[in-house]
Amino acid sequence: MNEKYLYIYNNLINYTRNKDLYKNLNRKDNFSDRLLLFLLHFSFFLKNFKNDENRNVLQEIYDFNFRQLELSIREIGYGDQSINKKMKDYINLFHSMVSEIHFWNDLTNEEKLKKISFFLSDFQNNEYLLNYFEDFNSNLSKKTLNSYLKSVSRP
């Protein structure tokens, strides 16, 4: 296991543990809610650092994060056949997220809100989440991938 990628994974997990993200969920959060927020954070992360120079490192981070997610799903107790289907679904969802936020900075707030609401449909008051992800995206853009690799950045 490459520890430099573990730092990034743990940082993304820590972002998803922010209790304020769940305050507008009209039920107790579950693994699926946390996973959606993790994938959304990871989508923004990849969007901000995607370039030819970072291509190989980002692929390794992608592979590492999805390996970690698979291990988490196994810990929950899903069987091998269920895991394969779940992972396929999560990867497809993630790629959909990446595609939808690719031009995030060019979208209006209303368009951004629709995208957030689409992926986080069980959440209420998505304006809060929109503001949160705007700040998250802005903070990512001010840092380098190297700062995350060296575990300098914390939530």
Is residue 97 assigned to a domain? yes
Residue 152 pLDDT more than 80? no
Q: Report yes or no on 78 lying in a domain.
A: yes
Give me the residues paired with residue 25 across strands.
123
Q: Give pLDDT, residue 120.
A: 92
Question: Which domain, by its residues, includes 115?
Answer: 3-149
**Residue 24 domain-assigned (yes or no):** yes
Task: Give me the number of domains the chain comprises.
Answer: 1
Mean pLDDT taken over the chain: 90
Reference 10, options 74, 64, 47, 50; nearest CA is: 64
Render pLDDT for 62-118 as a digit per residue (tens, 0 to 9). 999 999 998 888 888 877 778 888 889 999 999 999 999 999 999 999 999 999 999
* Number of residues assigned to the chain: 155
What confidence tier does 146 reach under pLDDT thresholds 50, 70, 90? confident
Considering the entire predicted model, what is its pTM?
0.91
143 within some domain: yes
Domain assignment present for residue 154? The answer is: no
Task: Outline where 77-125 has alpha helix (H).
Answer: 80-101, 109-119
107 lies in some domain:
yes
